[in-house]
Chain A
Amino acid sequence: MTRAVVRQHVPSTPEREPNVDMTAHLASLVIPSPVLTASGCSGFGRELDGFFDITRIGGIVTKSVMWSPRSGRATPRMAETPSGMLNSIGLQGPGVQAFVESDLAWLLERGARAVVSIAGGSVDEYVRVTKFLRDVKGISALEVNISCPNVENRGQVFACDARAASEVMSAVRRAADPAIPVFAKLSPDVTDIVAIADSVVRAGADGLSVINTLLGMVIDTDRMRPALGGITGGLSGPAIRPVAVRCVWQIRQALPDVPILGMGGIRTGLDALQFILAGANAVSVGTSVFNDPSAPLRVHRELAKALEERGFGSLEEAVSFAHRPEGYEYEGEPEE
């Protein structure tokens, strides 16, 4: 296939690759880059491949897929907010069968690492989707979007209830190919995210994706009605970054060994570095892709450079580094 030129102003001296081992570990998944896309912000990878080589980042996290095709919600589906946006898409998608036959087939054929995000309205739906995916060769990991209302429990969101979240995760873990890691994607809209994290890990989640969007709302002051067709929507982008970093930090403190895929408002390599230092093993870049379609690869480069500048020889050394004890000395320590 033809590849488009990403940026036209190529610097006259090609930048030297930083001498940092960027290998990332997410449970049993080992990837050459710690930067992935975020579910719902990169489609199924195809459109982004024209802007950067999608095989060069850690992976494409696909839009959450359910059992059946879904039309999603009415428009307006977005509202821009300070340093962020609200979205209310309603999980529009082709259903798992068409997804596997067309979108996922393309992604795997292309040689990209595919982290497949799944969603459901009931434990049974999550399990059916998982079983369907079990026979597909080449999936790198599953990410379970549990920020969905449980149709069997008055629309209570799975991710906001430790028991419901655990039920989904243990059922999916049992139904999934034992060789691939299963991540639970947590919602920040809970009183104690550590308690939810702990429950889903006990239920069998191999790792955690932290965080999904925060529930928000905008009122259109001209129409004097909610701006979104779905009334409320998910807040994302740099506006939520401090919340996301806090969630990663708290979970890392409580669960020192759990693999964490951190996300929420990452726009630059230094943003990504905050997540790594707080305890993330890898990161997803979501909303920033809308601003800069080549953001994931750029963030990878900037992160590598930032790590090198701080004296790290590998990404691994930097994971959770902000948790080091007081008085801990290291080579790259800036001079006072």
Chain B
Amino acid sequence: MPIQTRGEVLDVKRAGAYHVITLTAGSIPDQARPGQFVAVAIGGGESGLLLRRAFAIHRVNSRGVYGGTLEIVVSVHGEGTAWLADRRRHDPVDIVGPLGRPFSIPRDPINCVLVAGGYGSAALAMLVEELHSRGCRVDLVLGAATEDKLFGVLDAKRLASTVTVTTDDGSTGIQGRVTDVLSDVIDRSAADVIYACGPMKMLQAVAEVASSHGLMSQCAVEESMACGIGVCMTCVLPVIGEDGVTRMVRSCVDGPIFRGDRVRWSDIGTVPVGTYGSMPLVEETS
């Protein structure tokens, strides 16, 4: 069950293009599973920025001197993320979490390839630990536009069998996209399953590569969310259910982790013909 808690900033560190923020967060760290996220309120009780911002839970520490703490990795994008990056030690931050469904963890020690784009690797750190502790082989592919937008490369090397880095500009690692190297990594590691987190276009490409190898992929999506807790219906995307029917599914509570072969990537931003409950000729408000 998610909770709402008033946390406190313990630390803000720069890591390349990102800010790593450590927060006290009540019992959220105890409950958090890999792939879940928190929703952080911006700017205090009278703030004009009303909507919470979502961040993947990067790491947790449930037994610190300050009680439970967690880390988020923030890429400054607009006003809300800029406000967060400006926090100082002891500043209060209101947090809701842990939110969303976690990654499914395999029961057997199988071979897992994890793919991240940009700060997407923040969402995979807990997964790496969990998979490793279950005896899974973990191979990582980390990609970004430029070197400073890579996150967690050193950390990844600790537990992963291999780490393959790509950058669009070739500033480090292999020049190109994660999907340019993914097939090789899959073959080399005899992968059984793919996990991915990053921009939607990357997830779509990764899901396609996984499918072409006959592998299941689990993708952490990022949709605009007004509430993060399942009450507003803003965060939907078209997902094919067990019954073969496409539904507009809430990514905050039914996601953010979806099977890559179930998301209708090319149809995001539309209500595809035949979607459950679609009536293309009728338009309603709110």
Bin chain B's interface residue count. Answer: 35 or more
Most chain-B Cβ atoms within 10 A of its Cβ — which of A51, A89, A119, A213?
A: A89
A92 touches which of B4, B237, B277, B282 (Cβ 8 Å):
B277
Cα-based distance from A85 to B277 in the complex (angstroms): 26
Q: Closest A residue to B96 by CB, please name it.
A: A293
A238 — which chain B residues lie within 8 A by C-beta?
Answer: 48, 50
B26 — which chain A residues lie within 8 A by C-beta?
Answer: 5, 8
B10 to chain A, nearest CB (A): 16
A68 — which chain B residues lie within 8 A by C-beta?
Answer: 277, 279
Known: A71-B278, A78-B224. A148 touches B48 (CB 8 A): no
**Any A CB within 8 A of the CB of B226:** yes
Segment with Cβ contacts to B, from A35-43, A243-251, A323-331: A35-43
Cα-based distance from A105 to B169 in the complex (angstroms): 56
**Any A CB within 8 A of the CB of B129:** no
Known: A71-B271, A89-B234, A290-B52. A40 touches B5 (CB 8 A): no
**Any A CB within 8 A of the CB of B236:** yes
Q: Could you mark each residue 229-244 of chain A with 1 if its beta carbon is under 8 Å from any beta carbon of chain B, else 0?
A: 1100010011000000
B209-268 at interface with A (beta carbon < 8 Å): 223-224, 226-237, 247-248, 253, 268
A78 touches B286 (CB 8 A): no
**Any B CB within 8 A of the CB of A311:** no
**Any B CB within 8 A of the CB of A179:** no
Cα-based distance from A93 to B277 in the complex (angstroms): 8
Q: Could you mark each residue 135-149 of chain A with 1 if its beta carbon is under 8 Å from any beta carbon of chain B, else 0?
A: 000000000010111
B286 touches A291 (CB 8 A): no
Main secondary structure of the interface of B (DSSP, over half): loop
Cα-based distance from A7 to B95 in the complex (angstroms): 10
**Any A CB within 8 A of the CB of B193:** no
Cα-based distance from A64 to B49 in the complex (angstroms): 26
Most chain-B Cβ atoms within 10 A of its Cβ — which of A41, A78, A148?
A: A78
Known: A8-B26, A71-B275, A74-B269. A293 touches B4 (CB 8 A): yes
A93 — which chain B residues lie within 8 A by C-beta?
Answer: 277
A8 touches B5 (CB 8 A): yes
**Any B CB within 8 A of the CB of A83:** yes
Known: A40-B232, A41-B231, A72-B271. A148 touches B284 (CB 8 A): yes
A75 touches which of B41, B232, B237, B276 (Cβ 8 Å):
B237
Cα-based distance from A39 to B62 in the complex (angstroms): 37
A9 touches B278 (CB 8 A): no
**Any A CB within 8 A of the CB of B6:** yes
A87 touches B4 (CB 8 A): no
B45 to chain A, nearest CB (A): 8
A181-223 at interface with B (beta carbon < 8 Å): 212-213, 215
Cα-based distance from A90 to B270 in the complex (angstroms): 13
Chain A contact residues, CB within 8 Å of chain B: 2, 4-9, 40-43, 47-48, 50-51, 63-64, 68-78, 80, 82-85, 87-93, 95, 119, 121, 145, 147-149, 151, 155, 157, 212-213, 215, 229-230, 234, 237-238, 287-294
Question: Can you identify 28 A-B contacts, CB atoms within 8 angstroms?
Answer: A41-B232, A43-B230, A47-B229, A47-B231, A51-B3, A70-B284, A71-B275, A71-B278, A72-B271, A73-B271, A75-B268, A75-B269, A77-B224, A77-B233, A80-B49, A87-B226, A89-B232, A89-B233, A90-B284, A91-B284, A91-B285, A95-B277, A121-B284, A149-B282, A149-B284, A215-B285, A234-B285, A288-B50
Q: A147-B286, A294-B4 are in contact. List 14 more A-B contacts (CB 8 A).
A: A5-B26, A9-B6, A41-B231, A47-B231, A50-B2, A51-B4, A70-B278, A70-B284, A71-B277, A77-B224, A88-B286, A147-B285, A151-B282, A291-B41
Identify the 3 closest CB pairs spanning chains A and B, nearest first: A69-B277, A43-B231, A8-B26
